[in-house]
Amino acid sequence: MTGLSPDTPLGRLIAAPMRPGLLTWIGLRPARHAAMTLPEEATLIAQTGIVGDRYRTTRDGARQVTLIAAEDLAAIAAFLGRDSVAPELLRRNLVTRGINLVALKGQRFRIGAALLEGSGECAPCSKMEATFGVGGYNAIRGRGGITARVVEGGTVRIGDPVERV
C-alpha cells in the first residue's frame, strides 16, 4: 500500500511488526462549530465515515475519520507552554495511545470491529490560531494526526486495540 516493494530495505522496515496501540477517546462533530459529543463507542460505516459526525461522505472520500495520538497532544501542549490540550480543541474523531499513526499512512489497520486505511496527514487549519493563540498553527504542524477511510464498518469502543493488519 505504500508503493514500496517489501523486497527493499526500506520496504522491509515499513512492513516490520508494530506494537499495537489503544483507542482512548472518541469525539463526534455533529455540526460545524457545534460542541463535540464524546461517546464511549461509535459506529463506522464503510466508504462513508462515522454515524453522527458531520464529515460523513457519500463518495468514499479520504477524510472519513480523523485520528490523533495522545503523545502528539502532549507534544502540542508542550509547544504551547500548556500542561495539556483537550482533544476536542483539535476536533479529531479518535485519540490513540501507544502507536505511531504516521506509520499507518497508506496502511490498513483495525480498531474494534472496523477496518480503516490511513489516507493522509491531518494538517491543522487556520482556526488553531484563534483556538490556541499566536503560534497555535505552528505548534500543531506535523503533529495533527492522520485521516482515514473506512474499508469495513463496525463499532469502535474506548479501550479497543489499534493494530495494523
36 within a domain of the structure (yes/no)? yes
What are 100-118's pLDDT values in tens digits? 999 999 999 999 999 999 9
2 within a domain of the structure (yes/no)? no
Tally of structural domains, the chain:
1
CATH of the domain at 15: 2.40.33.20
Residue 136 has φ and ψ, to the nearest 5°, of -60, -45
Domain limits at 137?
A: 9-164
State the cell numbers at 75. Answer: 507534544
pTM for this entry: 0.92
1 within a domain of the structure (yes/no)? no
Q: How far does Cα 27 stand from its chain's mean position?
A: 11
3 within a domain of the structure (yes/no)? no
Question: Are the beta carbons of 28 and 93 closer than 8 angstroms?
Answer: yes
4 within a domain of the structure (yes/no)? no
47 within a domain of the structure (yes/no)? yes
Regions of the chain with pLDDT less than 70: 1-3
